[in-house]
């Protein structure tokens, strides 16, 4: 027989799947939960934001035994890669400025980071913004810094070093640098010096 408390927990997690699948960003990591309810097994795939590929053990709830939570990094899809390619740099640039300035960094520091990655000075950057170029055009015109490959880690739910599409990887390089700038990392570390 099921314990009613455990059954309600399982139903609650089932509802969380539905709600989470509506609000979770596809680029996020996904965790799968396996619940064991007393003598009977109830398996539930439960979407939840999680970081990294670590395995976590969740403590037991009432009649449940503990369960192992496995996390998996999402892979980019061709649709995701196409969406990045078609996105204009001009549409994202104001968000970069807002992000860094709200954390006490300056527009000039942002431009320094962008110039280090792409080779674009202030004048060229403004031209690209005015032309409303896509990220595909933006990175085709860029002279990518040879040390860009040193940019690693997770950004927007993706591990940069595991991204296969070169354009998507370059866009995530930029996102990661902006994120590090906003988090207050020292400029020499951001610029991989």
pLDDT digits (tens, 9 = 90+) for 50-97: 444 434 444 455 555 554 444 445 688 999 999 999 999 999 999 999
pLDDT digits (tens, 9 = 90+) for 108-155: 999 999 999 999 999 999 999 999 999 999 999 999 999 999 999 999
- What's 151's domain CATH number? 1.10.8.290
Q: Pull the structure tokens for residue 101.
A: 């300035």
The three-state DSSP-derived secondary structure of the chain is: CCCHHHHHHHHHHHHHHHHHHHHCCCCCCEEEECEEECCEEECCCCCCCCCCCCEEEECCCCCECCEEEEEECCCCCHHHHHHHHHCEHHHHHHHHHHHHHHCCCCHHHHHHHHHHHHCCCHHHHHHHHHHCCEHHHHHHHCCCCHHHHHCCCEECCEEHHHCCCHHHHHHHHHHHHHHHHHCCCCHHHHCCC
Q: Is residue 6 scored above 90 in pLDDT?
A: no
Question: What does the angle CA 16 – CA 175 – CA 96 come to, to the nearest 5 degrees?
Answer: 100
- State mean pLDDT over 17-36: 38
Using CA atoms, how far apart are residues 93 and 120, in angstroms rounded to an integer?
Answer: 14
Residues 165 and 106 in one domain: yes
Q: Is residue 2 scored above 60 in pLDDT?
A: no
pLDDT at residue 156 in the model: 85
Using CA atoms, how far apart are residues 189 and 168, in angstroms rounded to an integer?
Answer: 23
Residues 133 and 50 in one domain: no
Between 40 and 110, the more confident residue is 110
pLDDT digits (tens, 9 = 90+) for 165-184: 999 999 999 999 999 999 99
Within 10 A of 84 (CB to CB), how many other CB atoms are there?
20
Residues 159 and 125 in one domain: yes
Owning domain of residue 138:
78-190
pLDDT at residue 75 in the model: 82
Tell me the pTM.
0.64
Q: What's the number of domains the chain is made of?
A: 2
Question: What's the mean per-residue pLDDT of the chain?
Answer: 75
Find residue 171's DSSP bridge partners.
Answer: none
Residues 52 and 95 in one domain: no
Residues 66 and 136 in one domain: no
pLDDT at residue 118 in the model: 98
Phi-psi region of 192 (alpha: psi -120 to 50; beta: other; left: phi over 0): left
Enumerate residues 6+ apart whose C-beta is below 8 A from 172. 155, 156, 158, 160, 163
pLDDT at residue 27 in the model: 37
């Amino acid at each position: 027989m099921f314990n009613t408390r455990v059954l309600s927990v399982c139903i609650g997690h089932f509802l969380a799947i539905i709600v989470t699948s509506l609000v979770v960003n596809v680029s996020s990591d996904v965790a799968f939960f396996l619940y064991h309810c007393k003598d009977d097994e109830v398996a539930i795939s439960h979407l939840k934001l999680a970081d990294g590929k670590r395995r976590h053990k969740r403590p037991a709830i009432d009649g449940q035994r503990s369960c192992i939570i496995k996390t998996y990094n999402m892979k980019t899809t061709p649709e995701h890669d196409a969406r990045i390619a078609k996105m204009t740099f001009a549409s994202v640039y104001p968000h970069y400025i807002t992000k860094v300035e709200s954390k006490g960094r300056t527009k000039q520091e942002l431009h320094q980071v962008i110039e280090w990655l792409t080779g674009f000075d202030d004048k060229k950057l403004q031209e690209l913004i005015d032309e409303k170029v896509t990220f595909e055009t933006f990175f085709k015109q860029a002279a990518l810094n040879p040390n860009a490959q040193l940019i690693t880690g997770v950004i927007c739910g993706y591990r940069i070093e595991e991204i296969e599409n070169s354009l998507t990887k370059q866009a995530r390089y930029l996102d990661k640098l902006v994120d590090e700038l906003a988090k207050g990392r020292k400029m020499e570390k951001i610029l991989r010096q």
